[in-house]
Amino acid sequence: MARVRRNRSYKLAQIYDRRSREVPFNAEVAEVEIDNPLALDSGEKILAIRSIRGDPLGRLHAHHQIDEAQYRGGRAFQNDWERAERGPQAVDPTREYVDGTRTRDPVTESQRQAVLRLNRVERELGTDGAALVHDVLILGLTMDQVGARRAVRAQRWNDYFARRFRECLDRLALVYGFATETSARRAERRG
């Protein structure tokens, strides 16, 4: 007598699993929860994989070394920096003007607002803090590389730069409105 086949239930969540199973051997990835772009209801989340290889802020967030407010403050700083940067960088302004070339684009309101926010951030962080944040968030340097640029190569200096960078991220979260002064004090007492 033949065996009776039973119906197997399939979960719909597994049918639409779009995560990559194979990653390159030198990849550094982390799972993140994002809004589902194909969702019918707002607020649905899905898991996605993002590369953290060239992203020091993403790496710190994926390893739970910084909190959500610090992460969002750092991303807001990067967004303002990209917005404030303007035009193609390869254009040589020393060359003669030739008919048919474009003139410089005017400064937009969003660029102006981004520059104003960056100026406020530099005042809040100070010269050293602003340079440290720029080195890590814009240039993507590690704490070892930051120490090498400043001609100090000791673990104690790396620890100092890491602690100072977290303080700067706390200040960025305050400036951009992702944290309040009381939550920053609470985080200081914990850490």
Q: Quick one: how far is CA 148 from the chain centroid?
A: 23
- Residue 48's pLDDT is what? 83
Cβ-contact 164, 146 below 8 angstroms: no
Residue type, 163: R
Residue 56 has pLDDT above 70, yes or no: yes
- Residue 28's pLDDT is what? 85
Residue 133 has pLDDT above 70, yes or no: yes
- Residue 76's pLDDT is what? 96
pLDDT in tens, 95-126: 666 655 566 667 889 899 999 999 999 999 99
Predicted TM-score of the model (pTM): 0.75
Interatomic CA distance for residues 48 and 35, integer angstroms: 10
Report the mean per-residue pLDDT for the chain: 83
- Residue 53's pLDDT is what? 86
- Residue 161's pLDDT is what? 95
What is the arithmetic mean of pLDDT over 24-42?
85
Interatomic CA distance for residues 165 and 132, integer angstroms: 7
What is the arithmetic mean of pLDDT over 53-80?
92
- Residue 180's pLDDT is what? 85
Query: Which of these ranges, 4-8, 111-115, 175-179, has the smallest mean pLDDT?
Result: 4-8
Query: Which of these ranges, 69-73, 148-152, 183-187, has the smallest mean pLDDT?
Result: 183-187
Cβ-contact 161, 147 below 8 angstroms: yes
- Residue 75's pLDDT is what? 95
- Residue 85's pLDDT is what? 85
